[in-house]
Chains A and B, each alone.
Chain A
Amino acid sequence: MQLAGLFAQVLNGLQYGLLLFLISSGLTLIFGVMRVINLAHGSLFMIGAYLAYALAGITGSLWLALPAAVAGGALFGAALEYTLFRRFREREHLDQVLLTFALILLFEEARSALVDNQFHSVAIPAMLDFSVRVTADFAYSAYRIAVLGICLGVAALMFIGVERTRVGSAIRAAAENAEMVDLLGIDARRLHTLVFAVGTALAMLAGALAAPLQSVYPGMGDGFLIISFVVVVIGGLGSIAGAFWAALLIGLIDTLGQAYVPQAAGTAIYVLMAAVLLFRPAGLFAKG
């Protein structure tokens, strides 16, 4: 019994961590490449969740919501970068905070006007609405396993895209020195649009995946935004691999902490973040 419970919590922690990775990988890329702090990133997560709620209501299933969140997120992110964020790239962080805070308010107002201010649950797709028997006395939600798999697949794609392709090396190069990228004849601004599109698509996908797990409600992105910033700091600003391991670590600490040492769970990750800032400011997993 005890062991089965622990196993379930570990899986929950990993699944939560992987969702965190979807959100924080976009956040860290956008910061790394554009030096923009996007406080509205949590709102994009919320928009993805509400999109899932709306589409599930119309079509009766979540399945359409996932590609819609990715495609819609990419378009929405590209539009946001093109119209707003590229103008704020060279501005001070305070200006960026004001812009993105305004976006949070705007998105919340839009949600309130278009939907309402109630909690809504989203049904798990019928196909996955069962439990997988892992051992004699332990079963685990098939939907959660699917979320684990999708997130791992996306993480692998992200890693390959950023580390193994020419566009990925251009993105890493632009994060270091956008001017030099331009001098090689590559339009760094188009890379910014791409990064923003990908980051937004991932945040909205995370929202759509999370909708059946935690229902949708006003301000649901706020908690995720704060935890995602913790992930970004612990993983090292701009580092995809760092964000991956940090997200898993935070997911496990938070989930196991709340299950076994609830008194300390709320503060543990912030203590960890403070320690990283003090002793390894480049990130817990940074090389050298």
Chain B
Amino acid sequence: MNVPIIEARDVSAGYGASQVLRGVDLAIHAGETIGLMGRNGMGKTTLIRTLLGLLPTQGGTVLMDGVDAASEPAFRRARRGIATVPENRGVFAGLSVTENLRLAARPGAWSEQRVLSQFPRLRERHRHRGNQLSGGEQQMLAIGRALMTNPRLLVLDEATEGLAPLVRDEIWHTIRLVRDSGIAVVVVDKTVSAVLSLADRVTVLVKGGVVYTGDPQTLREDAALMHRHLGV
């Protein structure tokens, strides 16, 4: 419990010459739910990609289980228990629902049957290819596939974006269920109220730097901060 699953210490990162993250600290412990917040383009996705090993650090350190992860490529970090639902969903268009799920499978509580029970729509469509699914179905598939890896930490980048209200509710419901099962969750989402009510802790990014880290209640009561950095 003391050693975080993954941790950013004073991390700087960006794309080529342009630096996006400036000295970010963030630690995610087992079982914890973290809300990562900030307006468009503030660096949330960049921070996630850096933690996942898709983007190299320009300064600072990313640690996994307390050990410098610089030499751990993305696939190995994933194998050590991080599952991701990326911003664009990353559903394989040419693979069937079943193939998408089975590709990810690693032993644990989440099996193909359990995922299909969680998302009955996917069961109905298990033979359909990724590109034959609606946006909501794709998002369910992306989440179900992440769960198939039986992770310690689930990272969701804009998992409810552009979806119908009912589908959003279903996805929030699933995220709660995952959290309650003891899996750590990092959630990035534009629905501020939903993130605040879900998270144990929130971190707010502004221009690649952390302006707030702490419990959601304190943030909610700070109207000025909420308005300035989250636009609500």
Contacts and interface: CB of A to CB of B under 8 A. Distances in A.
Given A179-B54, A179-B74, A184 B95 contact: no
B90 interface: yes
A172 B83 CA distance: 20
A18 B92 CA distance: 30
B92 A173 contact: yes
Interface stretch (A138-146, A150-158, A185-193): A185-193
A278 interface: no
A183 interface: yes
A186 B103 contact: yes
A186 B73 CA distance: 11
A184 B94 contact: no
B94 A183 contact: no
B54 A169 contact: no
B92 A172 contact: yes
Contacts of A176: 92-94
Contacts of A214: none
A180 B100 CA distance: 11
- Name A's interface SS: helix
B192 interface: no
B75 A188 contact: yes
Interface string A26-55: 000000000000000000000000000000
Interface residues of A, number: 17
B104 A184 contact: yes
A258 interface: no
A184 B103 contact: yes
Given A176-B92, A176-B94, A182 B103 contact: no
B90 A180 contact: yes
A176 B84 CA distance: 17
A177 B93 CA distance: 10
Contact of B103 (A173, A179, A187): A173
A191 to B, nearest CB: 10
A178 B139 CA distance: 19
B127 interface: no
B86 A183 contact: yes
B106 interface: yes
A188 B52 CA distance: 15
Given A183-B84, A185-B75, A169 B99 contact: yes
Interface in A162-207: 166, 169-170, 172-173, 176-177, 179-188
B22 interface: no
B47 to A, nearest CB: 15
Interface residues of B, number: 23
Interface string B60-89: 000000000000011110110001101000
B196 to A, nearest CB: 27
A246 B106 CA distance: 38
B102 interface: yes
B138 interface: no
Contacts of B104: 184-185
B12 interface: no
A170 B90 CA distance: 14
B145 interface: yes
A51 B149 CA distance: 45
B90 A185 contact: no
A183 B103 CA distance: 11
Contacts of B95: 169, 172-173
Contact of B90 (A169, A172, A183): A183
Contacts of A172: 92, 94-95
Contacts of B84: 183
A239 to B, nearest CB: 10
Interface in B125-163: 145, 149
A166 B78 contact: no
B93 A183 contact: no
Given A166-B103, A184-B103, A177 B92 contact: yes
A182 B73 contact: yes
A177 B54 CA distance: 13
Contact of A183 (B52, B99, B106): B52
B5 to A, nearest CB: 15
A185 B106 contact: yes
Q: Which 3 A-B pairs have the closest CB atoms?
A: A185-B79, A180-B90, A185-B78
23 contacts: A169-B95, A169-B99, A169-B103, A172-B95, A173-B92, A176-B93, A176-B94, A177-B90, A181-B75, A182-B74, A182-B75, A183-B52, A183-B74, A183-B75, A183-B78, A183-B86, A184-B75, A184-B78, A184-B83, A184-B145, A184-B149, A186-B75, A187-B75
Given A169-B95, A183-B74, A187-B75, 8 more contacts: A166-B102, A177-B92, A180-B92, A181-B103, A183-B54, A183-B84, A184-B103, A184-B145
